[in-house]
Amino acid sequence: PDKEVYAMVGDGSYLMLHSELVTSIQEGIKINIVLFDNSGFGCINNLQMDNGIESFGTEFRVRNPRTGQLDGEIMRINFAQSGAAYGAK
């Protein structure tokens, strides 16, 4: 591209499609990623709750050993390290 490329993506979408970073690195195309981290699939979570369904598997939480549910602490994911693993800067 002749201009600087920016991609705005949520953390859930990034986790589903971060392999596209490999393509940009293979092709030598710089992409600036602006990642919005709300610790989950926020859009899906909102749809669940708006329809009277409890949040289920849409927040990035660890399994709580007491309850057996995914209602433990929020997971801290280092997305920059994820990109660096592919060779992104």
Q: What is the pLDDT, as a whole number, of residue 56?
A: 84
Q: What is the pLDDT, as a whole number, of residue 28?
A: 92
Amino acid identity of residue 57, one-letter, is G
Q: What is the pLDDT, as a whole number, of residue 30?
A: 92
On the CB side of 74, how many CA atoms lie within 13 Å of its CA?
Answer: 9
Give per-residue pLDDT as tens, 72-86: 999 999 999 999 999
Positions of the chain with pLDDT under 70: none
Under 8 Å CB-to-CB from 72, ≥6 apart: which residues? 61, 62, 63, 64, 65
Q: What is the pLDDT, as a whole number, of residue 35?
A: 96
